[in-house]
Chains A and B, each alone.
Chain A
Amino acid sequence: MELLDRYLHAVKRHLPWERQDDIIAELKANLESQLEDKESELGRPLTKEEAEEWLKQIGPPIQVAARYQRQQYLIGPAVFPTYWFVLRLVLAWATVIYAIAKALDIAAHGLGAGAIIAAVAYLPWVLLINAAIVTLVFAAIEQASMRYPEKCAPFAPMGPAWSPAGLPPIEVDSENKPRSFAKALAEVIFGCLFLAWLLLIPYHPFLWLGPGAWYLKASPYELAAVWWTFYWCLVGLNAFELTWKVVDFVRGTWQGRKHARHLALHTLSLIPLGVLLTAPNRELFLLKNPVTDAAALGAQVSSANRGLHTAIMIVVAIVVLQLVWGVGKMGVDAYRKRVAAAQ
């Protein structure tokens, strides 16, 4: 029967080459016997339509051939939990390392918003490449453990190799733990003390710099005026936080979660950092007497300013990443709550 031969030929194309002939010979014998039975029942050969219908019932050649493959999956159920755990770990770390590397690169070379957008746009490719590598490694492990189970004994206990005694302790959910009255009171008291200390710094610089205050006074260097703006931003930020804490304390709402306040303060902390970052000519340290000292110390001051500017850029990048992480975490928590409420 020509149609059966064509069908078997189509199946053969998708079979493993080393077993093609053997499988096809067996399949042919079985299907021909089946065909003979069908034709003897009918008392006549099958029509073209009947033959087509019969072969359709057996299934598409590619699927029939696939059943003869030794393995029909890349990563099996025994290895999958470890694969999934490693994949998530690798993707998380790849994101962090890529973000830090790009932030350093952008800061070191003084690149602009275009470079940031390009870095963000390239992130999916970085993740895709990492995911592909992890998947390939685990697929190879799966293949090896399937083909050579005796030789791959170390792969076998990937999942079950654990001891209940080695389980990590339950983490205390300090974020969601209600704050005690004593803690809330202590926060207000220490907040007041810290603000007072901050306000005293302009009159007594040693409170901030210690012995360095006298060194700075005697040295040929001085702080740029932008530090005053930075200072007042810092005072404002602390006054804002303290006011919020006092209001919570007075209203008796100190026990509630403080995600919103934490996020607001985190965002506001970008202001003083931004002030330093946008200092005129990126000058954070100046010479007291530039006319006399510029030749000897000008290069040192410029170098220090450049270094500090880069350091501040890195700090800004870290704060932004923390902020994105915080917002993402809040979003996930809100989603979980919504799903739990819906159930």
Chain B
Amino acid sequence: MTLTENLFENLRLELRRGCLTLAVLAQLKQEHYGYTLRKALAARGMEMDESTLYPLLRRLEAQGLLTSEWREEDKRNKRFYKLSSEGEQIFARLLEEWNSINTAISNLL
């Protein structure tokens, strides 16, 4: 990887980092377990590695933005996540911020 490509990759990852949280919160207005969430995000154009998404879910839950429960589905125990009430509030504020940034960038371009 050349220096420019490396720099671009770092900046791209930095740019995506915050967006991933927003995407996950948006998608978890409906309940999902890890794998179906990943598929749902990918279907909407937001591809995420397993090693990024699954730990992120844990962190968001630890921060109180998600709630989770173990439940059996298709003869397999799975952990289902959903936006908590605090998560809904934070998501609404983040979305507002996102829209404001988006508008600003659009104005700049």
**Residues B35 and A33 in contact, CB atoms below 8 Å apart:** yes
Spot the interface stretch: A63-71, A88-96, A189-197.
Answer: A63-71
Say whether, besides A23-B58, A30-B34, A64 and B76 are in contact (CB < 8 Å).
no
**Residues B35 and A58 in contact, CB atoms below 8 Å apart:** no
59-88 of chain A: CB within 8 A of chain B:
59, 63-64, 67-68, 70
| 1/0 contact string of A29-51 vs chain B (CB within 8 Å) | 11111100100000000000000
34-56 of chain B: CB within 8 A of chain A:
34-36, 38-39, 49-52, 54-55
**Residues B34 and A29 in contact, CB atoms below 8 Å apart:** yes
Give chain B nearest CB distance to A27 CB in angstroms: 6
Q: Which size bracket describes the interface of A in this complex?
A: 10 to 19
Looking at the complex, which one of A29, A67, A70 makes contact with B79 (CB distance below 8 Å)? A29
**Residues B49 and A59 in contact, CB atoms below 8 Å apart:** yes
- How far apart sit A58 and B34, CA to CA, in the bound complex (Å)? 14
Looking at the complex, which one of A27, A32, A37 makes contact with B54 (CB distance below 8 Å)? A27
Say yes or no: is A26 at the interface (Cβ < 8 Å to chain B).
yes
Say yes or no: is A25 at the interface (Cβ < 8 Å to chain B).
yes
Complex interface: chain B residues within 8 A of A26 (CB): 34, 54, 78-79
**Residues B78 and A29 in contact, CB atoms below 8 Å apart:** yes
Majority-rule SS of B interface residues: helix
Looking at the complex, which one of A25, A34, A64 makes contact with B77 (CB distance below 8 Å)? A25
Q: Give B residues with C-beta under 8 Å from A.
A: 33-36, 38-39, 49-52, 54-55, 58, 62, 76-79
**Contact count A vs B, C-beta below 8 Å:** 52
174-215 of chain A: CB within 8 A of chain B:
none
- How far apart sit A27 and B33, CA to CA, in the bound complex (Å)? 10
Max chain B Cβ within 10 angstroms of own Cβ: one of A29, A34, A70 = A29
- How far apart sit A29 and B49, CA to CA, in the bound complex (Å)? 16
Complex interface: chain B residues within 8 A of A34 (CB): 35, 38, 50
**Residues B51 and A32 in contact, CB atoms below 8 Å apart:** no
Give chain B nearest CB distance to A63 CB in angstroms: 7
- How far apart sit A164 and B56, CA to CA, in the bound complex (Å)? 39
Complex interface: chain B residues within 8 A of A31 (CB): 35, 50
- Chain A, residue nearest B37 (CB): A30
**Other CB < 8 Å A-B pairs besides A25-B79, A26-B78, A64-B50, 17 of them?**
A23-B58, A25-B77, A26-B79, A27-B34, A29-B34, A29-B76, A30-B54, A30-B78, A31-B35, A32-B76, A33-B33, A34-B35, A37-B39, A67-B51, A67-B54, A67-B55, A68-B58
- How far apart sit A68 and B54, CA to CA, in the bound complex (Å)? 8
Complex interface: chain A residues within 8 A of B76 (CB): 29, 32-33
- Chain B, residue nearest A58 (CB): B50
Give chain A nearest CB distance to B48 CB in angstroms: 12
**Residues B51 and A58 in contact, CB atoms below 8 Å apart:** yes
